Amino acid sequence: MTSARVIRVRGVVQGVGFRPFVFRLAQEKRLAGWVLNDDEGVEIYLEGADAAIEEFVRSLHSDRPAAASIASIEVRATEPEGLDTFAIRDSRHQGHPSVRISPDLPACQACIDEMHETGGQRYRYPYINCTDCGPRYSVILSLPYDRANTTMRGWEMDGYCASQYSDPADRRFHAQPVACRVCGPHYRLTAGEKIVTGDEAAIGRAAELLNAGAIVAVKGLGGYHLACDARNESAVESLRARKYRKEKPFALMPRNIALARELADLSPEAEVLLTSSARPIVLAPAKIRFPGISPDNDDLGVMLPYAPLHHLLFDAGAPEVLVMTSANRSSEPISYRDEDALEQLAGIADAFLIGERPIARRVEDSIARAGTFGPVILRRSRGYAPAAVAQIPVAQPILATGADLKNTIALVVNGQAFASQHIGDLDQYQAFESFRETIEDLVSMYEVRLADLVVAHDAHPEYRSTRLALELGGAATHAFQHHRAHIASVLAERGAWDKRVLGVSFDGTGYGDDGTIWGGEIFAGYMAEGLERVAHLRRASLPGGDAAARYPVQAAAGFLSQIDNLPDLDFPERYRAALELICKGVRTFTTTSVGRLFDSAAAVLGFTREVTFEGQAAMWVEHIARAAENADPYPFPFADGELDFRPLLGALAVDRWRGRDRGECARAFQRGVAQGLCDAAAQLCERFGLDTVVLSGGVFQNELLLEDLKSILGPKRLDIWTNTVVPPNDGGISLGQAALAAFR
């Protein structure tokens, strides 16, 4: 008895070998019909025996291609048409595409093996790829995902590639970026006037230069890296000097996982992240310390080779552990266009390993860690973007423009929330440009009209992301408070729309309802009703505004000025100047920022110079605290909706003045913050009848704080929710804004 079904598959199902997989499966089950790609994903029509169709649907899920991820499968019965073969039909393109664009994928084992087959047409070919692996988001110019809409459109397939591309039984069936030595793009190496052409020669020369201590700019998937030998101290030192990157840690790329295990203490969870298809930089405790790689930091950032080129570089004899850092000057965004790279990196790189395939958009390496409460994505970019991060039940399209630091944007179409790659600090001209381009990019890819969009932005009137949001001309524009957006990002990840929670946002800086600088906020409520601020850190002065975030002693002046009987700590002149600003009420702001509280503690503990990257002082406190055994917490009392930092910082100052071990002081401070927060959370949960505490904001990147919170709060039978999909830092703000807009 023949019956027929129409099957709708949603998720990441395009550009990942899904149609050939369906084709083979249908043949195996002796089913007739067709499969095609459309704007919503994949549609399958099947005719045949009921039992065979049922088996087909089961296998669809269980045997799906490695790179595919299925969000839903809908099956409905229909009338048989009387077909007798199975075919792959042309793509159909009608309304708003809501198919998810696949993130970039690391080279698969089949391709790596093929790259090592002497005599093959892809022997040592750096652009080898197949439907299981290779570039996606970084080469897509527009949808649908077909070769003509990718940066591979300039290369015509030869007979060899074309026959594989059109053979449903081949693993390169409809692999859009397919290429080989004969028909595809190549690498070349330029060093001054000298140009080395030919993939093997160019890669071989790059490996030699790296061994000789040179700094080589290497074009990868989503941008250029600056590479050098991680064990060569003088190469690392000159990279820091030339890049104006004084202390921020460099990521390392060891040749393989065995070497990665020698470098860092990798938990099973960390290895899962390290080898996941996103291939992020994974932060893990360092086992080996190379000079200059990650100063004053317990962790090392490690990532495995992911582009075929990386494998070839190591094959060619490059140093077995490379520094692989984003190619840019200081904190600018990563270079990805060849002309820009040559110009911006002149004077930094000794040589350039340039690949011909253009990069459609900048996609930096992602950063992740196996944290106390599960995986934490600290920078969500290559390998993750632009996959959906949440399902938000809303019909209208929403665009959220995020925050100005660590910017990302989010777009909600047909209830799917897509988050962009990491864009960066919008004060940087190039980052702001790419912020605008990314908005245009996503809006046009998903064919949303600006006039139909609900636009969500931060409440800060001076943010660039706010000003652009107001200029976009959407159907409506709404501002959302920064820390509510942090909390909403966690609720959105979980789809917890009706759950009443206590939301704790400990953070650096965010514009508050009252116009002061918030960053130590506790809310109660849920998405539909809103999040009411029920408690906060005691208010402190912040002399000098933005500069206070760069100079811990300046923040310290603001916080310590409220403390009586303070011992005489030896601060630099800037401290006294800041006190003067407070006295005169000049350029002095009010803050409840826990980020600045950590800065103040850092200053008391001896970090009195300028920070050279965001969050450095707080990371330093965590670092020295880790060196100490557990210490009793300093008091951080909670009363009348206020966490009082005076006893906390006062005790710290006295202990430092008495000469107590610095690490112990830092440990007691960290423990104090955790204990104070737990006391506040327990009281507030009881008062409001809540059982779940949501934590989000930059301060919760402090893993030691999370460990302490877990050990204290765990026994109190309160659930703790943290971010696991988007970053707890400002990279997660756009998702939170989008969710708040949906439930407004």
The stretch near Zn ion (CB under 5 A) out of 123-131, 186-194, 478-486, 488-496 is 123-131
Residue number, 507 or 708, with CB nearest to Fe ion = 507
Kindly state the smallest distance separating residue 424's Cβ from Fe ion, in Å: 15
Query: Which amino acid is it at 556?
Result: A
With respect to Zn ion, which residue has the nearer C-beta, 133 or 556?
Answer: 133
CA distance 352 to 493: 41
Question: Does 133 help bind Zn ion (rule: CB under 5 A)?
Answer: yes
Q: Is 111 in the site for Zn ion (CB under 5 A)?
A: yes
> Where on the phi/psi map is residue 530: left (φ > 0), alpha (ψ -120 to 50), or beta?
left
Return the one option of Fe ion, Zn ion, none that residue 455 interacts with (CB less than 5 to 8 A, by type): none
In this complex, which beta carbon is closest to Zn ion, that of residue 108 or of residue 605? 108
Question: Which one-letter amino acid corresponds to residue 245?
Answer: R
- Candidate segments 125-133, 365-373, 513-521, 708-716, binder of Zn ion by CB under 5 A: 125-133
**R_g over Cα of the chain:** 27
As given in the structure block, the two tokens for residue 405 are: 């630091």
User: Could you give the count of Cα atoms lying within 13 Å of 579 in the half-sphere of its Cβ?
Assistant: 12
CB under 5 A: which stretch of 131-139, 158-166, 243-251, 276-284 binds Zn ion? Answer: 131-139
Rounded distance between C-alpha atoms, residue 111 and residue 313, angstroms = 16
Residue 16 in contact with Zn ion, rule: CB under 5 A: no
Closest CA to 284 of 324, 322, 257: 257
Residue 507 touches which member of Fe ion, Zn ion, none, C-beta under 5-8 Å by kind:
Fe ion
Do residues 359 and 221 make contact, with C-beta atoms less than 8 angstroms apart? yes
Compute the least distance from the CB of residue 306 to Zn ion, in Å: 12
Nearer to Fe ion, 39 or 507 (CB): 507
Contact segment (CB under 5 A) with Zn ion among 36-44, 133-141, 358-366, 393-401 equals 133-141
262/286 Cα distance (integer angstroms): 9
Q: Which of residues 240-279 bind Fe ion (CB under 5 A)?
A: none
Which partner in Fe ion, Zn ion, none is near 111 (CB below 5 to 8 A by kind)?
Answer: Zn ion
Nearer to Zn ion, 130 or 445 (CB): 130
CB of 185 to Zn ion, least distance (A): 17
Tell the smallest beta-carbon distance from residue 109 to Zn ion (Å). Answer: 8
3-class SS of residue 286:
strand
Residues in 457-496 at the binding interface with Zn ion, rule: CB under 5 A: none
* Residue 263 contact, options Zn ion, Fe ion, none, Cβ 5-8 Å cut-off depending on partner type: none
Identify the H or E element spanning 479: strand 476-480
Residue 130, interface with Zn ion (CB under 5 A)?
yes
Q: How far lies 641's CA from each of 420, 579, 628, 684, in Å?
A: 37, 27, 32, 9
507 interacts with Fe ion by CB under 5 A: yes
Does 730 bind Fe ion (CB under 5 A)? Our answer is yes
Q: How far is the CB of 729 from Fe ion (least distance, A)?
A: 6
Query: Least distance from C-beta 403 to Fe ion, angstroms?
Result: 6
Rounded to whole angstroms, how far apart are CA atoms 650 and 656? 10
322 and 210 Cβ atoms separated by less than 8 Å: yes
Nearer to Fe ion, 37 or 489 (CB): 489
- 289 Cβ contact partners less than 8 Å away, ≥ 6 residues apart: none
Nearer to Zn ion, 276 or 711 (CB): 276
What is the 3-state secondary structure of 190-251? EECCEEEECHHHHHHHHHHHHHCCCCEEEECCCCEEEEEECCCHHHHHHHHHHHCCCCCCCE
175 binds, among Fe ion, Zn ion, none (CB under 5 to 8 A by kind): none
For Fe ion, which residue has the nearest CB? 507
Q: Name, in order, each residue with C-beta under 8 angstroms of 470's C-beta and a sequence gap of 6 or more.
A: 457, 477
| 15 vs 474, beta carbon nearer Zn ion | 15
d(CA 69, CA 416): 14
Q: Is 425 in the site for Fe ion (CB under 5 A)?
A: no
130 interacts with, out of Fe ion, Zn ion, none, CB within 5 to 8 A per kind: Zn ion
For Fe ion, the closer of residues 177 and 519 by Cβ is: 519
Smaller CB distance to Fe ion: residue 458 or 622? 458
User: Smaller CB distance to Fe ion: residue 266 or 423?
Assistant: 423
Print the SS3 string covering 131-160.
CCEECCCCCECCCCCCHHHECCCCCCCCHH
CB 127 within 8 A of CB 121: no
Judged by CB under 5 A, how many residues of this single chain contact Fe ion?
A: 2
Query: Which residue(s) pair with 88 in the sheet?
Result: 35
> Minimum CB separation from Fe ion for residue 302, in Å?
27
| Residue 84 CB neighbours (<10 A) | 6
423 binds Zn ion (CB under 5 A): no
CB of 389 to Zn ion, least distance (A): 26
354 interacts with, out of Fe ion, Zn ion, none, CB within 5 to 8 A per kind: none
Q: Judged by CB under 5 A, which of 108, 354, 490, 542 binds Zn ion? A: 108
Pick from Fe ion, Zn ion, none: which does 7 bind, CB < 5 to 8 A by kind?
A: none
730 binds, among Zn ion, Fe ion, none (CB under 5 to 8 A by kind): Fe ion
Instruction: Map the footprint of Zn ion across residues 294-333, applying CB under 5 A.
Output: none
Q: Please, what is the minimum distance in Å from the beta carbon of residue 135 to Zn ion?
A: 11
Taking residue 42's Cβ as centre, other Cβ atoms within 10 Å add up to 24
Q: Is the peptide bond before 97 cis (omega within 30 degrees of 0)?
A: no
CA separation, residue 264 to residues 106, 699, 701 (Å): 22, 24, 19
CB of 130 vs Zn ion, minimal distance in Å? 3
Min CB(307)–Zn ion separation in Å: 12
User: Which residues touch 514 (CB under 8 Å, ≥6 apart)?
Assistant: none
Q: Which is nearer to Fe ion, 174 or 460 (CB)?
A: 460
Task: Tell me whether residue 338 or residue 507 sits nearer to Fe ion (CB atom).
Answer: 507
Number of residues located near Zn ion, criterion CB under 5 A: 5
User: What number of CA atoms fall less than 13 Å from residue 211's CA on the CB side?
Assistant: 13
Among 702, 705, 623, 618, CA closest to 662: 623
Binding range to Fe ion, per CB under 5 A, among 106-114, 219-227, 245-253, 722-730: 722-730
Looking at 101-109, 136-144, 376-384, 425-433, which segment touches Zn ion (CB under 5 A)? 101-109
Find, among 643, 574, 579, the residue nearest to 610 by Cα: 574
Complex with Zn ion: residue 111 or 682, whichever CB lies closer: 111
Q: Which residues bind Fe ion (CB under 5 A)?
A: 507, 730
Q: Which residues bind Zn ion (CB under 5 A)?
A: 108, 111, 130, 132-133
